[in-house]
């Protein structure tokens, strides 16, 4: 019996469940929750007999080449699904926990205003989870990766009328997008290493991998470190560990199911899935092991001084994932999978009972006080012990380090590019772009000593546009225009690098232009309705009054950032495939532009439509509520 068609069923179940939940009216709580737990339960109870039969058949590796979204003479964007023991463990754990949490959430969120949006987001995240674990190549994996990032943002910002959940949702989304730089660059380098969209099934061929890696060790190591960057960001390893406690601002069920147990383990999944690609590179394995060890030590120290339960559990989970990184580096795949399952179930349980545990511990301290027992730290010199304690209280300044190293410099650089305002865009940048177009079609006018650098020059201008949009604090229209122009500069830059087919340009811009027009319409209507509350200087919470505009602007942001609801997502991969293997700088500039464009777009959405409502004709929560 051929088991491969069952893969389609396991993908379709969460997809159908999500779309059904979208059309249900907000007040139908029982129906909404029933759709959610039926989706997870049906998947679980269909998977169990499938798993037994698959094991009886000898646990064969299954690969389903689904369909090509786009195909040309030298490029294929292939949707490919893959099933092996890694997928089986992740699917079993994910379906069991999601089934339990959806039942739990049915009562936990009763009469919440965002009841419908919560279950929509849960099913969207479950769809992204399943899509990712079944992915058979990097392109398919990146679709699920993007869905996970968006649904995580929506779940963390569930209490959108409050300041901290929205702020932390943007922080988590931004760190996720930094990890996306690693995935994009790994995809780009893989195109040139394999001269195709390599599938994970082909990576199982050790002879093929050895043949390619041995002749291109530098590219192989580059891919490995980009994958490590993506894995570290997704699994909250150093220096990205600060995002996981911030993700706990969402409802307890979502914190338990995804940030405590499932989503946070995707870095381990990525390393396990790509293990055949980098396992022969000893230096890479040492780096993965050292990163896991350092994270485990520091996260353990931080977790022991936390004053609240959720962050303590979060850092304890980070420490365990650090140990999983070590296990993967040592090639202990089975142990890492067992460790993942145990940690996922434990953290889900701990987070769900955390309110009860907090009250129980308080009662114990009041009525059954016992002095602190002597620990290993007490044997250290007092000065060292106190220093470690203070550092752990400050979370080893991880958050501050990340801000100073990445976000603050980018934001300050964007704010200093004052020349990029609406007037100068038409006076300076539009003529410059027209000159670039003229030179593109008349390359004989370009001096020979300038020609090799034009691609990087225009890509740098594109990045400056997006950094200016990221740092803009006043005009939403200016920021939106800069994000749009960034894509035009990207197309120009890649055309100077290699003749970019007109059809490829149309594919890339097919989602960008309609999304930008929709965004302008929303901004125009919002500015007309709220002329005094229309900037990016604070959170305005306009979704309180303009829910339809909020949804439309979110969709336009997704289109502008190349989310997998438009063909622009394929266009991004097409653009990267036209960058030569030696053009590391150009690939980095392009990837950073794509990633920062997504952050700038979501930041605009959050500041205009999320957070405490600017008007005070109703109860407004405190900033630190």
- What does the pLDDT look like over 382-395, one tens digit per residue? 788 778 888 888 87
Exposed e or buried b per residue across 288-308, where buried means at least 16 C-beta atoms within 10 angstroms of its C-beta: bbebbeebbebbbbbbebbee
Closest CA to 181 of 601, 605, 598, 603: 598
Query: What pLDDT sits at residue 369?
Result: 64
Total-model pTM: 0.91
Split at pLDDT 50, 70, 90, the class of 608 is very high
Q: How far is CA 233 from the centre of its chain?
A: 9
Dihedral of CA atoms 550, 551, 555, 556 in degrees, nearest 10, equals -30
Query: What pLDDT sits at residue 553?
Result: 94
What is the C-alpha to C-alpha distance for residues 229 and 576, in angstroms, rounded to an integer? Answer: 19
Length of the chain: 625
Reduced DSSP (H G I as helix, E B as strand, rest coil) percent helix, strand, coil of the chain, to 5: 75, 5, 20
pLDDT > 70? residue 622? no
Q: What is the pLDDT averaged over residues 509-530?
A: 92
Tokens of 561: 């950032």
The pLDDT tens digits for 41-62 are 999 999 999 999 999 998 898 8
pLDDT > 60? residue 624? no
Cβ-proximal residues to 621 (8 Å cutoff; 6+ apart), any chain? 161, 162, 163, 612
Are the beta carbons of 279 and 204 closer than 8 angstroms? no
Looking at per-residue confidence, does 112 or 528 come out higher? 528
Bridge partners of 78, per DSSP, are 68
Q: What is the pLDDT averaged over residues 7-36?
A: 90
Are the beta carbons of 161 and 130 closer than 8 angstroms? no
Query: What pLDDT sits at residue 367?
Result: 65
pLDDT > 60? residue 380? yes
Q: What is the pLDDT averaged over residues 422-431?
A: 73
What is the C-alpha to C-alpha distance for residues 576 and 572, in angstroms, rounded to an integer? Answer: 6
Q: What is the pLDDT averaged over residues 440-467?
A: 83
Q: How far is CA 439 from CA 446, 448, 454, in A?
A: 7, 13, 10
Are the beta carbons of 523 and 477 closer than 8 angstroms? yes
Q: Which residue has the tokens 């830059």?
A: 493
Q: What is the pLDDT averaged over residues 536-565?
A: 90
Query: What pLDDT sits at residue 520?
Result: 94
pLDDT > 70? residue 297? yes
Q: What is the pLDDT averaged over residues 193-207?
A: 83
Query: What pLDDT sits at residue 115?
Result: 87
Split at pLDDT 50, 70, 90, the class of 493 is confident
Q: Which of 415-419, 429-433, 509-513, 615-619 has the highest mean pLDDT?
A: 509-513
The pLDDT tens digits for 448-461 are 778 788 888 888 88
The pLDDT tens digits for 346-376 are 999 888 887 777 666 666 666 666 776 777 6
Q: Mean pLDDT in the chain?
A: 86
The pLDDT tens digits for 112-149 are 888 888 999 999 999 999 999 999 888 889 899 889 88
Split at pLDDT 50, 70, 90, the class of 574 is confident
Split at pLDDT 50, 70, 90, the class of 195 is confident
The pLDDT tens digits for 495-508 are 887 766 777 888 88
Split at pLDDT 50, 70, 90, the class of 437 is confident
Bridge partners of 64, per DSSP, are 81
Q: What percent of the chain has pLDDT over 70?
A: 94
Closest CA to 242 of 165, 164, 178, 302: 302
Parallel, antiparallel or unpaired: strands 76-83 and 62-71:
antiparallel
Looking at per-residue confidence, does 418 or 319 come out higher? 319
What is the C-alpha to C-alpha distance for residues 94 and 329, in angstroms, rounded to an integer? Answer: 24
The pLDDT tens digits for 253-293 are 888 887 778 889 999 999 999 999 888 889 999 999 999 99
């Amino acid at each position: 019996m051929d088991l491969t068609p069952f893969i389609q069923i396991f993908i379709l179940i969460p997809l159908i469940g999500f779309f059904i939940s979208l059309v249900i009216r907000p007040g139908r709580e029982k129906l909404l929750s029933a759709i959610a737990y039926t989706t997870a339960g049906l998947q679980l109870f269909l998977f169990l007999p499938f798993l037994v039969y698959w094991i009886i058949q000898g646990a064969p590796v299954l690969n389903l080449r689904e369909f090509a979204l786009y195909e040309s003479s030298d490029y294929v964007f292939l949707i490919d699904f893959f099933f092996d023991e890694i997928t089986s463990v992740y699917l079993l754990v994910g379906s069991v926990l999601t089934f339990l949490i959806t039942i739990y959430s049915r009562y936990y969120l009763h009469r919440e205003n965002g009841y419908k949006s919560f279950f929509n987001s849960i099913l969207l995240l479950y769809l992204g989870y399943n899509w990712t674990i079944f992915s058979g190549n990097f392109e398919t994996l990146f679709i699920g990766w993007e869905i996970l990032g968006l649904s995580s943002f929506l779940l963390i910002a569930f209490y959108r009328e409050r300041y901290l959940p929205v702020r932390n949702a943007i922080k988590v989304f931004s760190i996720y997008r930094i990890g996306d730089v690693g995935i994009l660059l790994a995809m780009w380098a893989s195109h040139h290493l394999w001269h195709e969209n390599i599938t994970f099934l082909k990576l199982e061929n050790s002879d093929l991998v050895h043949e390619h890696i041995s002749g291109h060790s530098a590219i192989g190591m580059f891919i490995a470190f980009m994958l490590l960057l993506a894995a570290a960001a997704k699994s909250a390893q150093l220096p990205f560990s600060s995002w996981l406690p911030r993700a706990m601002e969402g409802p307890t069920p979502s914190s338990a199911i995804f940030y405590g147990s499932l989503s946070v383990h995707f870095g381990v999944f990525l390393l396990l899935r790509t293990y055949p690609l980098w396992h022969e590179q000893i230096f890479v394995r040492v780096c993965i092991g050292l990163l896991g060890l350092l994270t485990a030590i520091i996260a353990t120290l931080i977790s022991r001084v936390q004053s609240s339960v959720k962050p303590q559990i979060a850092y304890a989970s980070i420490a365990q994932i650090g140990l999983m990184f070590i296990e993967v580096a040592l090639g202990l795949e089975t142990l890492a999978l067992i460790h993942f399952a145990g940690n996922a179930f434990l953290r889900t349980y701990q987070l769900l009972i955390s309110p009860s545990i907090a009250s129980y511990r308080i009662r114990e301290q009041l009525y059954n006080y016992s002095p602190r027992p002597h620990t290993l730290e007490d044997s250290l010199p007092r000065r060292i012990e106190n220093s470690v304690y203070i550092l752990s209280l400050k979370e080893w300044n991880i958050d501050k380090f990340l801000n100073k190293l990445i976000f603050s410099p980018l934001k300050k650089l964007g704010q200093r590019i004052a020349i990029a305002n609406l007037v100068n865009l038409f006076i300076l940048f539009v003529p410059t772009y027209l000159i670039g177009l003229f030179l593109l079609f008349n390359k004989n006018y370009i001096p020979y000593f300038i020609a090799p650098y034009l691609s990087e020059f225009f890509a740098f201008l594109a990045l400056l546009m997006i950094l200016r949009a990221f740092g803009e604090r006043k005009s939403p229209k200016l920021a939106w225009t800069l994000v749009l122009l960034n894509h035009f500069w990207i197309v120009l830059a890649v055309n100077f690098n290699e003749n970019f087919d007109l059809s490829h340009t149309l594919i890339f811009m097919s989602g960008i232009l309609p999304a930008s027009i929709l965004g302008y319409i929303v901004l125009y209507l919002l500015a007309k309705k709220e002329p005094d509350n229309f900037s990016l200087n604070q959170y305005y919470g306009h979704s309180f009054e303009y829910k339809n505009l909020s949804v439309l602007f979110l969709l336009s942001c997704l289109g502008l950032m190349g989310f997998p609801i438009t063909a622009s997502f394929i266009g991004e991969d097409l653009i990267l495939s036209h960058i030569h293997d030696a053009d590391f700088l150009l690939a980095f500039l392009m990837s950073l532009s794509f990633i920062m464009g997504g952050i700038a777009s979501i930041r605009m959405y959050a500041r205009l439509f999320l957070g405490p409502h600017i008007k005070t004709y109703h109860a407004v929560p405190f900033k630190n509520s």
